[in-house]
């Protein structure tokens, strides 16, 4: 049989490691707290990084949404203006023919004022009219459709505008169709 004192001594040491016998319980508790604090800081940093990424993603989505809305509005404007350009050309040609006739000057003047008002309105929406008569040829804005001779005018200069060109901000909707000067040098 075993002595009860030996059993008690054995139970008191049961589960204790020899290395832990030397450590102070306060020191062990402090190490545990430090480890927990370190874990909490790491979790906080990870959560903060996730939050910052989510915030940046949200800001990018907001900016992309604004940009897409602006692009959509610009595309709609472009399509409307492209559809209106032939009508504007027809009115301009009609006005030019009506001005040649002597009758009904008041009607022609009223029509001319309406055309001026129409052109001013489309300018407020960003449509720019390209009418380059007697200017320099720019292939990014003009389309040369023919040549004519003209004394005293430098070759390559725009002599006449056949069809008006238009652009919306920096986007060219239609180049101006022009006749250029080309003098024969003999």
**Which tens digit of pLDDT belongs to each residue from 108-131?**
888 889 999 998 998 898 898 887
Query: Above 70 in pLDDT, residue 6?
Result: no
* Paired sense of beta strands 176-181 and 158-163, if any: antiparallel
Element (H, E) at 124: helix 105-124
Adjacent-strand bridge partners of 177: 143, 163
Q: What is the pLDDT of residue 27?
A: 84
pLDDT in tens, 50-108: 999 999 999 999 999 999 999 999 899 899 999 999 998 898 888 888 888 877 788 88
| Residues in contact with 157: Cβ distance below 8 Å, sequence separation at least 6, in sequence order | 134, 135, 136, 137, 180, 181
């Amino acid at each position: 049989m075993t002595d009860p004192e030996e059993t008690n001594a054995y139970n008191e040491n049961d589960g204790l490691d020899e290395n832990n016998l030397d450590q102070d319980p306060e020191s062990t508790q402090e190490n545990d707290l430090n480890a927990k604090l370190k874990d909490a800081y790491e979790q906080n940093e990870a959560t903060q990084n996730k939050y910052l990424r989510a915030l940046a993603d949200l800001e990018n989505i907001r900016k992309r949404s604004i940009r897409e809305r602006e692009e959509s509005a610009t595309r709609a404007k472009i399509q409307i203006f492209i559809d209106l350009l032939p009508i504007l050309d027809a009115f301009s040609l009609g006005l030019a023919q009506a001005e040649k006739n002597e009758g009904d000057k008041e009607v022609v003047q009223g029509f001319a004022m309406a055309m001026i008002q129409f052109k001013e309105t489309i300018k407020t929406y960003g449509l720019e009219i390209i009418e380059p008569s007697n200017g320099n040829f720019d292939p990014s804005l003009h389309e040369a459709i023919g040549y004519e001779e003209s004394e005293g005018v430098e070759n390559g200069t725009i002599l006449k505008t056949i069809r008006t060109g238009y652009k919306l901000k920096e986007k060219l909707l239609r180049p101006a169709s022009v006749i250029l000067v080309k003098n024969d040098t003999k």
